[in-house]
Amino acid sequence: MLIVLLEFLDFHQVVRRWYVVSFFSFFLNDVTYALRANHITYQPKQASSDPRSLSIFPGGKGANQAAGVASFESKSFFIGRIGDDADADIIQEALNGKVVDVSCMPRNSSVPSGKAFIFLEPDGSNSIVIVQGANIEGWIRDERARYLSDRECEIISNSSCLMLQREIPDEVNVEAAKVAREHDIPVLLDVGGKDTPIDPNLAPLVDIIWPNETELSNICGGVPTDTDEDIFNAAKMLREQGMKDVLVTIGEKGSIMIPFDDPDNVTRGHSYRVDSVVDTTGAGDCFRAAFATARFCDNRNVKDSLQFASAASALLVQRLGAMSAPSHSEIINFLSSSSSSSSS
């Protein structure tokens, strides 16, 4: 699915956009302490065969990010495809509850809504099995051979940024990115969903690509990404394919933004220590939604946007469920408290 975001710099002035658009997948998540499914997610309270350890949460990269943007007090549009089933009802209700606009999320009775089964361990780590359903099969070309409606194109063209991920067909992402490029809207690509190199038709349309270390290695053909030098070399490979800025998340070591126009002038974001990890599911989605909101909606610089995103994900992992992003005020208070602690 797709997220249209926020705020962008025009040639003469900063224009405040009133929404973010997310092109996303949605999964209903099953968790068996943790089996998760948009996907609807089923999530238990610890690794266990006890049926009482199973819970159901809405999720999926697109849905998580769209909900996150709304939690951070920016208008969020969600563009995607779902089935016409009970899981779709849960998905729609969850996004409505987060005040995400789902007017461009049609149902398709011929395919099921996506599901993700998430196995959540007691330490908060997880593994996931995904059944894509409508996220892949629900996208149908119209009589003009287009996947996107006029309304969806209008939403993208008037947004501040477009957030894409690879749990939907590549050709849909390409079509959406072309609309964004035609209107100078930044395109942000989450590489999750596939372990293969980026579609060569999509790569030149991407303004920010943001993998973690493992994903960076996968999309670059298995090159090492263990050291900073490895990461810089892999980022160079992505730039040679036409992509611009590369933002790599590196777990406890934080994140690195490598700009296209000056790759030696990197910006680093640090992570925050969390003593009570409950569920890491969706932490990356929360980070990306928070960065997009801070950078393109709130017009923060890259460094501050990275810290805002790190704080958001640190708060999320202390809660159960991938769509449990903190509010804007919670993040600001957390940053203020962290700053006070470090200076004392």
From first to last of its 344 residues, what are the pLDDT tens digits of the chain?
Answer: 344 433 322 222 223 344 667 765 666 654 433 333 345 554 544 445 555 567 787 888 888 999 999 999 999 999 999 999 999 999 899 999 999 999 999 999 999 998 878 777 777 677 878 888 999 999 999 999 999 999 999 999 999 899 999 989 999 999 999 999 999 999 999 998 888 999 999 999 999 999 999 999 999 999 999 999 999 999 999 999 999 999 999 988 999 999 999 999 999 999 999 989 998 889 999 999 999 999 998 899 999 999 999 999 999 999 988 899 999 999 999 999 986 455 44
> Is beta strand 20-23 parallel, antiparallel or unpaired with respect to 76-79?
parallel
What does residue 245 show for φ and ψ, rounded to 5 degrees?
-70, 145
Please give the pLDDT value at position 340.
Answer: 46
Please give the pLDDT value at position 25.
Answer: 60
Please give the pLDDT value at position 28.
Answer: 61
Residue tagged active-site, from 84, 190, 285, 298: 285
Please give the pLDDT value at position 187.
Answer: 96
**CATH code reported for the domain at 2-25+62-107+142-343:** 3.40.1190.20
Please give the pLDDT value at position 119.
Answer: 79
Please give the pLDDT value at position 325.
Answer: 95
Q: Is 285 a catalytic residue?
A: yes
Q: Are 32 and 71 in contact (CB under 8 A)?
A: no
Greatest Cα pair distance, the chain, in angstroms, is 64
Please give the pLDDT value at position 122.
Answer: 76
